[in-house]
Amino acid sequence: MNERGLLIVLSGPSGVGKGTVRQALFAQEDTKFEYSISVTTRKPREGERDGVDYFFKTREEFEEMIENNKLLEWAEYVGNYYGTPVDYVEKTLQEGKDVFLEIEVQGALQVRKAFPEGLFIFLAPPSLAELKNRIVTRGTETEALIENRMKAAKEEIELMDAYDYVVENDSIELACEKIKAIVLAEHLRRDRVAPRYKKMLEVE
Ligand code: 5GP
């Protein structure tokens, strides 16, 4: 039997560039994860294809999926539903392949509960670490604006608590490299590797 695959969850605050990083990752030939295509009730954007970018559904169809426990997680985001089909995730992990989810933060928290053994990567805005520095040195922002920005940044940092790794999206290429390195390292963890060795040495 195959060793179970890893469930990789890429998430982070709205507007951080999750979709762009995910697309860049999957455009690379050596990417070995399987992308889990989400279900959504939002209308397709130009160029988006059903079954490739999303499975586009009506609200009724989506709600039926919720009722029938067909979703690993779901969330309402800017007036539309988004969710991850559970059957695909289970089947693919069972086949020993890594599954990659790119979802917003509410959904990621639900996955964390259902799959605590998953690999949770937080994509952080590039400006976060530097934020205060920049705001203070620039000196052009009003007090209220600085406070608002700092508040938003603090909330984002608090969201990180539910994740295993933080990748700053300072450059798309670097972010992709970091994500691949994290996945590789996760595969090499002793608790994943040791059982394989022990099995190998089992005497018939
Ligand atoms: P967009 O409409 O721009 O494609 O996506 C909006 C947001 O929904 C993004 O933050 C994206 O990560 C998130 N999203 C996409 N698919 C899912 C999903 O299956 N579940 C959840 N919770 N969020 C999703």
CATH number at residue 145: 3.40.50.300
Binding-site sequence positions for ATP: 12-19
* Burial grade of 68 (CB within 10 A; 0-12, 13-18, 19 or more): exposed
Predicted pLDDT at 204: 58
Kindly state whether residues 194 and 167 are assigned to the same domain: yes
Instruction: Single out the residue in 77, 97, 117 at which a domain terminates.
Output: 97
Kindly state whether residues 117 and 196 are assigned to the same domain: yes
Q: Is 22 in the pocket of ligand 1 (CB under 6 A)?
A: no
Residue of the CA atom closest to atom 24 of ligand 1: 103
Tally of domains within the chain: 2
CA distances from 97 to 52, 167, 204 (A): 19, 23, 28
CB 70 within 8 A of CB 85: yes
54: domain CATH number is 3.30.63.10
Kindly state whether residues 165 and 84 are assigned to the same domain: no
Predicted pLDDT at 131: 63
Predicted pLDDT at 174: 96
Kindly state whether residues 118 and 159 are assigned to the same domain: yes
pLDDT tens profile 160-186:
999 999 999 999 999 999 999 999 999
Q: Which two tokens stand for residue 75?
A: 């969330």
User: For residue 80, how far is its CA from the centre of ligand 1 (angstroms)?
Assistant: 9
Low-confidence stretches of the chain (pLDDT < 50) are none
Predicted pLDDT at 3: 86
Kindly state whether residues 8 and 52 are assigned to the same domain: no
Angle formed by the axes of helices 131-138 and 143-159, nearest 10°? 170
Kindly state whether residues 106 and 158 are assigned to the same domain: yes
Kindly state whether residues 65 and 111 are assigned to the same domain: no
Kindly state whether residues 102 and 159 are assigned to the same domain: yes
| Residue 122: closest CA among 156, 93, 84 | 156
Q: Is 75 in the pocket of ligand 1 (CB under 6 A)?
A: yes
Kindly state whether residues 84 and 161 are assigned to the same domain: no
Predicted pLDDT at 136: 64
Residue of the CA atom closest to atom 23 of ligand 1: 103
Instruction: Single out the residue in 53, 75, 97 at which a domain terminates.
Output: 97
Residue 78 CB: number of other CB atoms within 10 A? Answer: 8
Structural domain containing residue 88: 37-97
Kindly state whether residues 155 and 194 are assigned to the same domain: yes
Predicted pLDDT at 66: 98
Kindly state whether residues 119 and 84 are assigned to the same domain: no
Which ligand 1 atom is at minimum distance from the Cα of 19? 12
Which ligand 1 atom is at minimum distance from the Cα of 102? 12
Kindly state whether residues 102 and 90 are assigned to the same domain: no
**What is the DSSP code string of the chain?**
-PPPPPEEEEE-STTS-HHHHHHHHHHSTT--PEE-PPEE-SPPPTT--BTTTBEE--HHHHHHHHHTT-EEEEEEETTEEEEEEHHHHHHHHHTT--EEEE--HHHHHHHHHH-TTSEEEEEEPTTTTTHHHHHHHH--S-HHHHHHHHHHHHHHHHHGGG-SEEEE-S-HHHHHHHHHHHHHHHHT-HHHHHHHHHHHT---
Predicted pLDDT at 40: 98
Q: Is 107 in the pocket of ligand 1 (CB under 6 A)?
A: yes
